Amino acid sequence: MVSCREIAQLSSFKKSNLVAGNMGLDRLVRWVHFIDLPDVLPWVQGGELLIITGIGLEGNLNRLTLLVQGLIKKNLAGLIINIGPYIKKTPEEIIELANSANFPIFELPWEIKLVEVTQEICSYIVLKQTEKRSIADFFEQLLLQPIEDELNLIQRASVYGYDLSIPQQVAILNPTRLTTYIQDKKIKDERKLVALKTQLEQYVRDVLNMQEIKVLSIFFMNTIVLLLPAENKAASLPQNMKLVTDILMLLTKRFADLGIIASLGGCAGSLCEVRRSYAQATKALCLSNSPASNKSVYAYDELGIYKLLLEISPVKLREYYQEVIEPLDKHDKQHDMNLAATLLAFFEENGNAAKTAKQLYIHRNTLDYRLKKIEEITSRRLSDPYDRLTLQLGVIVGRQLKAEDTVTNLL
């Protein structure tokens, strides 16, 4: 499926005029129909872009109003009115009705041949469907399988205008509350779920199209995966970070309930390295999901010490956590205290006791007691640089392990 926004860019629409429903241009078009029967509604199912001349309405405003109301109720993509002898101008009442429902209505001059319009729209939809299947095949090979014929993939992608001969960088947009959203909206029909995912993916493409950027994208493993050009590593990372941030901001405005976060992997010098970039972007999602995270976009190459920790096996990290921090967790459970949380706050405030006490809403003497208790239980002194680093790494590892568990459940 394609969006009304894309359809409006076709050459046959150059003389058209969008008169209503500007906020609904992201509606998806399943197909286009030209139907001029007096009662159109039984012949449409939803998702169609309908073309009418109004010949069957006999100039009756009430009939046109009932028609538009019915099209909105049946969730059509939009309406094209062939302006001429039967409908000379879209009535203001219809424009207000369509605007209130974000339902796009286009006016098309009478002299435009409708057969050319329908033919171009249908051809474009078929082309995009074919392209989407090919892109899905590209991504399956790039992300899941060893690349056997890199040149063949580059040539296939070039057919659709994508240049995969230059370095690439994987970006992931993760709707963290997708499952909750589906439950809240009571989406049980598989077709509606597919439509939601398609709409999300299409909206990302619309944002890219508005910025005149052409990149590969796909809805994969309940995330949207983008393959961004990264020809100049030094310049590409900030550019791609800004692009992903812009997309994220616009997506959040449109789908605020989905809790969308994003990450970027490292630069892939060849298609054979795209899998590594994808794995890095997936690991960076761990930080995006961290409860202590204050960002919405993370780049693997900017993770600092986390970049090192992410390459260590979870088994080794869990062993380190159990040795350093778990004694505090056990003590907290046995004595109903918050020593582990206190240590985390202490490090977040860079060891500033006054700020830590203020953050935890406790008296300074209470904080001093807790810090001494932490030293006693862990057998490490916060005044000793090595012991302090050991404890701080333990806190960081614990945060990472919790975030990784969250990501495992999401993906």
- The reported pLDDT for the residue numbered 97 is 96
Query: Which residue, 271, 183, 281, 151, is CA-closest to 225?
Result: 281
Short-list 241, 201, 226, 244, CA closest to 143: 226
pLDDT at 406 over 90: no
Distances (CA, A) of 249 to 43, 49, 173: 39, 29, 11
In this structure, of 71-85, 96-110, 147-161, 355-369, the range with the lowest mean pLDDT score is: 147-161
pLDDT at 404: 62
Q: Which fold has domain 2-112?
A: 3.40.1390
**pLDDT given for residue 120 in this prediction:** 94
The C-alpha atoms of residue 345 and residue 365 are separated, in whole angstroms, by 16
Q: What angle do CA 28, 217, 186 make, to 5 degrees?
A: 50
Q: Residue 188's pLDDT is what?
A: 79
- Euclidean distance between CA atoms 326 and 374, whole angstroms: 12
Q: Can you tell me the distance from the alpha carbon of 298 to that of 171, in angstroms, rounded to the nearest whole number?
A: 10
Q: Locate CATH 3.30.70.270 in the chain.
A: 129-310
CA 168 vs CA 49, 221, 224: distances in Å: 36, 20, 16
Asked if the model's pLDDT at residue 292 lies above 50, the reply is no
Q: Where in the chain is the domain with CATH 1.10.10.2840?
A: 314-410
Mean pLDDT for 57-64 is 88
| 75: enclosing H helix or E strand | none
| Residue 200 and residue 175 in contact, taking contact as beta carbons nearer than 8 Å | yes
The string of pLDDT tens digits covering residues 18-39 is 999 999 998 889 899 998 887 8
Q: CB–CB of 2/202 below 8 Å?
A: yes
Lowest mean pLDDT among 199-213, 223-237, 386-400: 199-213
CATH topology of domain 129-310: Alpha-Beta Plaits (3.30.70)
Residue 139 pLDDT grade (very low, low, confident, very high; cuts 50, 70, 90): confident
Pick the CATH number of 314-410 from 1.10.645.10, 1.10.10.2840, 3.40.50.150, 3.40.630.30: 1.10.10.2840
Q: What is the pLDDT confidence band of residue 411, given thresholds at 50, 70 and 90?
A: very low
Domain with CATH 3.40.1390.20 in the chain: 2-112
- What percentage of the chain reaches a pLDDT higher than 90? 45
Q: 263 and 281 in contact (C-beta within 8 Å)?
A: yes
Summarised one tens digit per residue, pLDDT across range 108-133 is: 999 999 999 999 999 999 998 888 88
Question: Does pLDDT of 14 surpass 70?
Answer: yes
Q: pLDDT at position 253, please?
A: 85
Radius of gyration of the chain (CA): 28
